[in-house]
């Protein structure tokens, strides 16, 4: 029996990286999962990996920042599984490192729509089902960029800081309902979003320096974020609410400093 045995879950951004790792882990831990991604081919590949390992999953190609789509995901879970216990609002996009003077309102609005409005929609539409059940867990992906400067572009960082505030405020809005809302804050993780960083370092022969500023002295893997996210989704985290967990090798525990060897 896995820690998510019997749980009914929606995971967005499940076509790659943290979302894919979380979908694989959730299924292996006994959950019935709806895996969602904007790119159908990517989420189908996630499903293939799960099925090749003896699991089962339902896939949907949908925009996690679109209200009708998110409402439809919740309806699908209720109709297919009879309820919803976990919503992992993981889908996100990079804000890019465009100089401040070159950033546009349109770009800001798109980053906020996906990264911040998306988790709000997940909470808005999942929470009534969970309230009626008397129990549920909503997990959102924030970032260490929400906690400190220089971990992402301004639009991205602001959107993720908003996620942390959203988690805190909605956890209190759902006071006494049995519905918990938490966030995970990944550090530098090798995903599709961070691929240019890793590709550039490998081309320069400096891959060993990636993650050198955190006391664990390395970058992270999607599976390491998935383990914390699925812990927050599980009953093992039953007394954790309104929190944002950094999973960053200790990066945010200190100020960056130059290595001396």
- 88, 156, 219, 245: the catalytic one is 156
Spatial distance between the Cα atoms of 184 and 178, rounded to a whole number of angstroms: 20
Q: Which residue has the tokens 């996630």?
A: 46
Is 156 one of the catalytic residues? yes
How many CB atoms are located within 10 Å of the residue 205 CB?
A: 8
Q: Is 192 helix (H, G, I), strand (E, B) or coil?
A: coil
| DSSP letters spanning 98-152 | --GGG--HHHHHHHHIIIIIHHHHHHHHHHHHHHHHT-EEEEEE--GGGTSTTSS
* 179, 135 Cβ separation under 8 angstroms: yes
Report the Cα–Cα distance between both ends of the chain, in Å, rounded: 47
Q: Which residue has the tokens 């980053």?
A: 111
Query: How many residues in the chain?
Result: 261
* Residue 57 DSSP class: -
Q: Is 59 helix (H, G, I), strand (E, B) or coil?
A: strand
Q: What are phi and psi of 221, to 5 degrees?
A: -115, 150
Catalytic residue positions, numbered: 156
């Amino acid at each position: 029996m896995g820690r998510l045995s019997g749980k009914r879950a929606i995971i967005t951004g499940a076509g790659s990286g943290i979302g894919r790792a979380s979908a694989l882990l959730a299924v292996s831990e006994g959950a019935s999962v709806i895996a969602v991604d904007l790119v159908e081919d990517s989420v189908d590949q996630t499903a293939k990996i799960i099925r090749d390992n003896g699991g089962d999953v339902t896939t949907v190609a949908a925009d996690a920042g679109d209200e009708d789509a998110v409402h439809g995901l919740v309806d699908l879970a209720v109709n297919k599984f009879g309820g919803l216990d976990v919503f992992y609002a993981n889908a996100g996009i990079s804000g890019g490192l465009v100089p401040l003077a070159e950033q546009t309102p349109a770009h800001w609005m798109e980053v906020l729509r996906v990264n911040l409005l998306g988790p709000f929609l997940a909470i808005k539409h999942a929470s009534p089902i969970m309230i009626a059940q008397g129990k549920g867990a909503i997990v959102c992906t924030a970032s260490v960029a929400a906690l400190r400067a220089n971990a992402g572009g301004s639009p991205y960082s602001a959107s993720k800081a908003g996620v942390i505030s959203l988690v805190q405020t909605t956890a209190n809005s759902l006071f006494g309902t049995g519905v918990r809302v938490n966030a995970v804050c990944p550090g530098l993780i090798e995903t599709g979003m961070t691929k240019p960083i890793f590709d550039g370092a490998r081309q320069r022969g400096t891959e060993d320096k990636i993650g050198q500023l955190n006391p664990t002295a390395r970058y992270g893997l999607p599976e390491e974020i998935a383990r914390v996210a699925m812990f927050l989704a599980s009953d093992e985290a039953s007394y954790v609410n309104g929190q944002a967990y950094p999973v960053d090798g200790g990066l945010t525990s200190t100020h960056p400093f130059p290595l001396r060897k």
